[in-house]
Amino acid sequence: MLIDSHINLGAPQFDGDREAVIERARAAGVGLMVEICDRLSSEPRARAIAQAHPDIWFTVGTHPHEAREDPQLSPERLIALAGHAKAVGIGETGLDFHYDLSPREVQIAVFRAHIAAARQTGLVLVVHARESDAVMADLLEEEHARGAFRLLMHCYTSGPDLLGRAAALGAWFSVSGIATFKNAEDVRAAVRAMPEDRIIVETDCPYLAPVPHRGRRNEPAHIGLVLAKLAEIRGWSPAEAEARTTDAFFDLFDRIPRP
């Protein structure tokens, strides 16, 4: 079974053909998808997509770009929303020091609220990290010392130090279409270093379409191309890559029943 662990079907890029995109994914063999909430004001949309489809689940959270929308965000608010039966993760959250669309101190405060919610609910913390490796690693270690939580380093493109420190905390890692890009050897090196039993795959659609679709809108139906590249990088057969990533997904997202 193919699983897309990170989709953004609520994005306006899908407003014209959302249901057709979902059907194409199913036709391509995608059996499960996780819809990501990028801000709490869009949580009703993410929830509605998951409620309408038995093979789609969703997360609750605020992307670091949008942290300025809820600078006083409390863990309690996240926990309340995450009580829904189809909510399986807290995030996408984290730190993005490349664009700095939200002040860094606000990103950090909002990220800590998400960590507290993940710790209390036991749900997966879906982490975005960009050009923030040292701060991210220090913060994860500091918070983990206060109480363990499960985390997924989504669409991992950061360096080896953060990878090692996050892996030591038990993190899972997801591989995206970036691994297929010609000039992404640093990402492929990171994929080779990931713990073999804690790797999953994602499209992050509508973004990051894998080769040969690069530059066009991404869809969950393309997840097989990401999986094939992962198999090539790790030296796994296609069947082994599918089995390994499926097992890792259900080990992480254990609120989702395994078919």
**CATH number given to 2-215+223-252:** 3.20.20.140
| Cis? peptide before 92, omega within 30° of 0 | yes
CA distance 73 to 57: 23
Among 160, 212, 217, 166, which residue's Cα sits nearest to residue 190?
160
Contacts 24+ apart (CB under 8 A), 181-189: 181/211, 181/214, 182/211, 186/157, 186/159, 187/156, 187/157, 188/233, 189/160
What does the pLDDT profile of the chain (259 residues) look like in tens digits?
Answer: 899 999 999 999 999 999 999 999 999 999 999 999 999 999 999 999 999 999 999 999 999 999 999 999 999 999 999 999 999 999 999 999 999 999 999 999 999 999 999 999 999 999 999 999 999 999 999 999 999 999 999 999 999 999 999 999 999 999 999 999 999 999 999 999 999 999 999 999 999 999 999 999 999 999 999 999 999 999 999 999 999 999 999 999 999 999 8
Angle in degrees, 0-180, between the axes of helices 185-193 and 160-168, rounded to the nearest 10: 20
Cα separation values, 108 from 73, 77, 184, 222, Å: 11, 17, 28, 33
Three-class secondary structure of residue 130 per DSSP:
strand
CA distance 213 to 235: 23
The pair of structure tokens assigned to 22 is 């979902």
Domain ranges of the chain: 2-215+223-252
